[in-house]
Structure 1
Amino acid sequence: MMSAQTDGLAQRVLQRFERAIGLTGLRHEIITRSSGSVLIIYVANPQERHYEALASALRAEDAEASSLLATLKKGREKAILQSSEVRLLLRVLSESLTITRHSFSDDFFSRYIKSVSGVEDQIVSAANHVVFGRRGSGKSSLLLWAMHGRKRDGSPFAWIDMQVYAQRSDRRVFLEVLLDIIDQTREAVANRPLADSLAARIQKLRDASKDPTEAGVRQLLPDIKRLFGSLATTSKDLVIFLDDFHVLAPTLQPHFLHLLYGFSRGTRVFLKLSAIESFTKLWDAASRTGLEVPHDVQLIELDYNLTTADKARAHIQSILDAHAAYCGLPPIVSLCNQSDVIARLVWVSAGVPRDALNIFGQAITKAANMANMRVTVTNVNAAASELVSDKLRFMELDSSGSFGAANQLLERIREFCLRDQKQNAFLVEERPGDADYRLIRQLVDLRLLHVIHEGIVKREAQRKHVALILDYGFYVGQRKARGIDLFNPKTAVPRYEELRSLPVFGIRAATEGAQQGVAADAVSGAARSKRRS
């Protein structure tokens, strides 16, 4: 017969265990044997971290002295969507939607899913890099992977969240970023007095009543170059991470980078940027200002769109599986009523990992509220229809000066697809010089349009088209539009003949669209077209 003392000890071990792994209300039992009592805790799919947490809880309570043993067993919950493990999964998915330098700091590497293309090896190389991708494609996570590697190895770095400077076009931005870099790297530089002196000069220039001139700012560069040219640890280089660089005003971007490169070039200081391509201007050819690709900076394109749906699915499923394992769940398909759910998830999220995680989390909640045993395609569609509101909100934030023109074009495309053609997919002629075509690329980066094929030849052999899908959120789930012919409803690999038969959306001539004042792309449209061909 179990004593009250043993029962109390078992409860304390259970509570410590639950706190350590983030689960609550786990099913458990205590059985009595001749050798002592055994606490059995049921977790759907226990992993190494769960066994380590249990062992730690036993040591903390000195359970061995009281002859209390504990073990984990796989538990099969009939209503798995109501389980403690799924409640934790929902919390983890929510936390993963906003990535900062502090995200998953304690166990970042165990939870990070490497890219299919192996760009992790690139980002840590001794070179300047800009990581391009749609919002939610994993750009910040890739920078974090490199940052945590440097932190683990004791290598110096500075992390700058550029969202603080969104839409700024004044030169004070450069001075404020410089102060942040000096502050974060003070322990790494060999000449501390020079760092203090420079910080004082920069603060004085920043606090002046007038915006500093570029000549005034450039006078600082020789001393800044001297400061970062000699680091305290001679075997280490310094990396400056600029996350979400595209939020700076496009007019400032090349000048900002020109000043950074003015002191980093020729030293062991390297720049790593993340940005949305169509809102980024790395190089201004007219003034020869900024970073020129590939001479000054190398591109990393981080995007698995619907042109490679199989890779996108593998990547998204591996991320979901990793989160599920962390929460003590079996592979993510165990939460779905059929395999088509994940395939549909990839298509409605257009291969964007963050969107997929957001949609799947909302789909779980919807299924649980309906008392469903598993997540269904209907739940995924309903969640996707709600996500479009967030995308439209971020559209205004990211598109800056081109918001009005982009919004008008989106409305024209919606009418073309949903009212005129009754189809969700269409073709558009690839015309990089046209303002409307550049706006379409912006809408792709904003995840309101999705590329399903980059090179469709329509009619004349020289006229290349891009195949696109209007975001599912506009016409599925709660916004379901009647009579819409959904392209590729079975989410199979689309046939070329199907793509060629899609209707063509006409864009205006370049001379008409040029008056829209659209921000220039990071690289010329022609260069981008060539790179993706």
Structure 2
Amino acid sequence: MNNTDDIVKVLRYIEENMRVTDQTSIEYLDAQGNIDRLSIRQNHIIFGRRGSGKSLLLKSLGQRSEFSCISVNMEDFKDISFPNSIIQVQKSILRQLLPIVKKVHGKYALAYWMKALPLKRKLTKQIKTLDEKLIDPDEYDKSFKETKAGKVFGKGKGKVGGSGFESGSEASEEIETSKQIKIDKLDILKNKLTDIKELFSEVAAFIGKDIYLILDDFYFIRKDEQPYFLDFFHRVSKNTPLYLKVATIKHRSKLYVQDSSYIGVEIPHDAQPLNLDYSLQDFDALVTFMKKLLKHINEKVGVEIDYSKLITDNAFRFLCLASGGVPRDFFSLLISLGPSLGGGKSISKPNVIEKAIESVANKMEHFKKDAANEDVLLEHYLWIIKGDIIDNKKWNAFLLSNSEVQNHPQINQAIKELVDLRFLHLVNPNISASNSDGTRYSAYMLDIGLFPNANPRGFHQVEPGQKDEHHRVDKIRSAPKLDLGSFSQRICELKAPLELELTD
């Protein structure tokens, strides 16, 4: 029998640790050895949707002692213009390095102070220099005047009293010319790269550790500025004991561009990827992982709750399905079900769907925040898909032609971003349709929160791995196909003022 007080303790513990802070006591459940991977001397890009555990993983990394972690939350700089964002992040890094340097105590005090004091002065001076750069405009014209000195010589002949003579004179002349050149703040910062690299190397040598620079929630930097921002710090890290650990949402991130030269970070040449997302592609593994999370929380709180007595097996699977594989969404739904837990009646599938529908408004707020200036356009894409698949065809899933979508890059980008924003869920990236037309499709499910109600009538509600009436493995193969021609036409009719920034 589950104790009601124990359930309250668990729900309180979950709610207190939903957001990662310095006070968060929940531990990262490292089933895939991600902390060990991030600990190696290598640049890493950590991909994961909001709530997938990126920040918790990086907090766990920072607790290791064999290197020094400098952590910067990029959301703090989302409204800062570029390249001032680079300056602000540099300042944040240097301010965090100062106390690290102060904590080092050498065996011989005099030798320590002879090295520490000049190094602290350098760090402080660099912070002051960056402060001065902040007030400069991002780009401006600067006028120069040059003055050149020259000589002018004159010669003449004359006659006085019948006698002839010849005389000459010399005078100096100044010639002034004006020039105007364009000054770019980013170029000035790049010109100081060598100084910054030397400073980081000097700090690392002094503290006797490598420096791991954590850039969390990198997707808050404007997408068109991301390659240039990342390029700067990647240059700083080259041939120095500084390693980048960048956490972001995959298709909200543009890591490099090919301009007149290569700019940014290219995977896997410049950094190794690490994917934290549990998707619906291996649904049984996802269900197992969520059960492990609950067991881990039981141990942290010191209780023994049997969740199978509180939630039916089908409802638990739908709880995992409604989360889309995102732990925070799973816990949010569990908390919302809290008043019904332990009430003598097990949580059912309709209960889960009802709470998922109620939570969609909050999810949409996160959607708008994460999508930044593309939120309105992406919302149009989402409502067109929902209207076609859920409202008209009464399915919770659809098929997308893998070949045809390549001819519609904007739709392709939108669907990838809607997956990352947790409103679409990829079930199978390579599947055939039930009519076997020879085309390969990707199968997607729409988020349960988009359902019209908890018990929609005449609705084809398919689950990952569910068999059809002929006992074929995937019922989802019978799902309707997304009409890309019609879809594209409807987007064109919107006459949207901008297009989505394409990512790889």
- Is this a same-fold pair by TM over 0.5? yes
User: How far is the alpha carbon of 1:167 from its aligned partner?
Assistant: 5.1
Give the conservation status (yes or no) of the 8 Å contact 1:169–1:248: no
User: How far is the alpha carbon of 1:313 from its aligned partner?
Assistant: 1.1
Aligned to 1:185, the other structure's residue is in SS state helix
Equivalences, count: 431
User: How far is the alpha carbon of 1:373 from its aligned partner?
Assistant: 4.4
2:215 aligned with 1:242, yes or no? yes
Select the residue among 409, 418, 429 that pairs with 1:443.
418
Q: Mark the CA change 1:480 to 1:377 in structure 2 (over 3 Å): closer, same or farther.
A: closer
Q: Bigger radius of gyration, 1 or 2?
A: 2
Give the conservation status (yes or no) of the 8 Å contact 1:101–1:159: no
Aligned to 2:426, the other structure's residue is in SS state strand
User: Which has the larger displacement, 467-476 or 298-307?
Assistant: 467-476
Select the residue among 442, 457, 472 that pairs with 2:432.
457
Give the conservation status (yes or no) of the 8 Å contact 1:169–1:251: no
2:121 aligned with 1:193, yes or no? yes
1:22 — aligned with what? none
In 2, the alpha carbon distance for the partners of 1:492 and 1:340 equals 15
1:316 — aligned with what? 290
2:167 — aligned with what? none
User: How far is the alpha carbon of 1:185 from its aligned partner?
Assistant: 1.3
Deviation per CA, 1:343-372, whole angstroms, max 9, x where unpaired? 22111212211111111111122446xx44
User: How far is the alpha carbon of 1:120 from its aligned partner?
Assistant: 2.5
Structure 2: 5+ residue stretches without partners: 102-115, 140-183
2:376 — aligned with what? 404
2:180 — aligned with what? none
User: How far is the alpha carbon of 1:440 from its aligned partner?
Assistant: 0.8
1:434 — aligned with what? 409
Q: Mark the CA change 1:188 to 1:489 in structure 2 (over 3 Å): closer, same or farther.
A: closer
Give the conservation status (yes or no) of the 8 Å contact 1:283–1:291: yes
Select the residue among 256, 261, 267 that pairs with 2:229.
256
Deviation per CA, 1:325-346, whole angstroms, max 9, x where unpaired? 3223224525524333322211
User: Which has the larger displacement, 352-361 or 497-506?
Assistant: 497-506
2:265 aligned with 1:353, yes or no? no
Aligned to 1:182, the other structure's residue is in SS state helix
In 1, the alpha carbon distance for the partners of 2:344 and 2:465 equals 23
2:235 aligned with 1:285, yes or no? no
Aligned to 1:199, the other structure's residue is in SS state helix
2:336 aligned with 1:362, yes or no? yes
User: Which has the larger displacement, 182-191 or 279-288?
Assistant: 182-191
Aligned to 1:186, the other structure's residue is in SS state helix
2:352 — aligned with what? 380
Select the residue among 477, 483, 490 that pairs with 1:506.
483
2:99 aligned with 1:178, yes or no? no
Q: Mark the CA change 1:517 to 1:96 in structure 2 (over 3 Å): closer, same or farther.
A: same
Select the residue among 143, 149, 152 that pairs with 2:58.
143
1:390 — aligned with what? 362
Deviation per CA, 1:139-193, whole angstroms, max 9, x where unpaired? 22221221122xxx26322111111122544211110010000011124456222
For residue 436 of structure 1, what is the amino acid of its counterpart? I
2:142 — aligned with what? none
Deviation per CA, 1:53-80, whole angstroms, max 9, x where unpaired? xxxxxxxxxxxxxxxxxxxxxxx56xx3
For residue 423 of structure 1, what is the amino acid of its counterpart? W
Aligned to 1:229, the other structure's residue is in SS state helix
Deviation per CA, 1:362-395, whole angstroms, max 9, x where unpaired? 1122446xx4444333332222122211221111
Q: Mark the CA change 1:210 to 1:447 in structure 2 (over 3 Å): closer, same or farther.
A: closer
In 2, the alpha carbon distance for the partners of 1:489 and 1:517 equals 33
Select the residue among 66, 69, 74 that pairs with 1:157.
69
2:394 — aligned with what? 422
Q: Mark the CA change 1:490 to 1:452 in structure 2 (over 3 Å): closer, same or farther.
A: closer
Give the conservation status (yes or no) of the 8 Å contact 2:410–2:502: no
- Which structure's relative contact order is higher, taking Cα pairs within 8 Å and 6+ residues apart? 2
For residue 378 of structure 1, what is the amino acid of its counterpart? P
In 1, the alpha carbon distance for the partners of 2:85 and 2:59 equals 23
User: How far is the alpha carbon of 1:101 from its aligned partner?
Assistant: 4.5
In 1, the alpha carbon distance for the partners of 2:270 and 2:464 equals 44
Aligned to 2:267, the other structure's residue is in SS state coil
Q: Mark the CA change 1:311 to 1:168 in structure 2 (over 3 Å): closer, same or farther.
A: farther
For residue 208 of structure 1, what is the amino acid of its counterpart? D
Give the conservation status (yes or no) of the 8 Å contact 1:367–1:376: no
Deviation per CA, 1:279-310, whole angstroms, max 9, x where unpaired? 10111122411111111111111111110111
Give the conservation status (yes or no) of the 8 Å contact 1:160–1:177: yes
Give the conservation status (yes or no) of the 8 Å contact 2:286–2:325: yes
User: Which has the larger displacement, 440-449 or 184-193?
Assistant: 184-193
Q: Mark the CA change 1:491 to 1:511 in structure 2 (over 3 Å): closer, same or farther.
A: closer
Q: Mark the CA change 1:319 to 1:396 in structure 2 (over 3 Å): closer, same or farther.
A: same
User: How far is the alpha carbon of 1:233 from its aligned partner?
Assistant: 4.4
In 1, the alpha carbon distance for the partners of 2:72 and 2:482 equals 40
User: How far is the alpha carbon of 1:466 from its aligned partner?
Assistant: 1.0
Aligned to 1:469, the other structure's residue is in SS state strand
Aligned to 2:281, the other structure's residue is in SS state helix
Give the conservation status (yes or no) of the 8 Å contact 1:320–1:332: no
User: Which has the larger displacement, 234-243 or 457-466?
Assistant: 457-466
Give the % identical residues. Answer: 25
Select the residue among 519, 527, 530 that pairs with 2:501.
519
Select the residue among 268, 276, 301 that pairs with 1:302.
276
User: Which has the larger displacement, 340-349 or 187-196?
Assistant: 187-196
Q: Mark the CA change 1:165 to 1:479 in structure 2 (over 3 Å): closer, same or farther.
A: farther
Q: Mark the CA change 1:507 to 1:490 in structure 2 (over 3 Å): closer, same or farther.
A: closer
Deviation per CA, 1:243-283, whole angstroms, max 9, x where unpaired? 11001101111111111112111111001011111110111
Structure with the higher fraction of residues in strand conformation: 2
2:48 — aligned with what? 133
1:468 — aligned with what? 444
Equivalent positions of 1:97-116 (< 5 A) are: 97-104=18-25, 111-115=27-31
In 2, the alpha carbon distance for the partners of 1:271 and 1:495 equals 46
User: Which has the larger displacement, 158-167 or 305-314?
Assistant: 158-167
Give the conservation status (yes or no) of the 8 Å contact 2:462–2:476: no
In 2, the alpha carbon distance for the partners of 1:154 and 1:119 equals 16
Give the conservation status (yes or no) of the 8 Å contact 1:132–1:276: yes
Give the conservation status (yes or no) of the 8 Å contact 1:313–1:343: yes
Select the residue among 231, 240, 244 that pairs with 1:271.
244
Q: Mark the CA change 1:508 to 1:301 in structure 2 (over 3 Å): closer, same or farther.
A: farther
In 1, the alpha carbon distance for the partners of 2:454 and 2:475 equals 26
For residue 161 of structure 1, what is the amino acid of its counterpart? N
Q: Mark the CA change 1:408 to 1:167 in structure 2 (over 3 Å): closer, same or farther.
A: farther
Give the conservation status (yes or no) of the 8 Å contact 1:325–1:331: no
Aligned to 2:484, the other structure's residue is in SS state coil
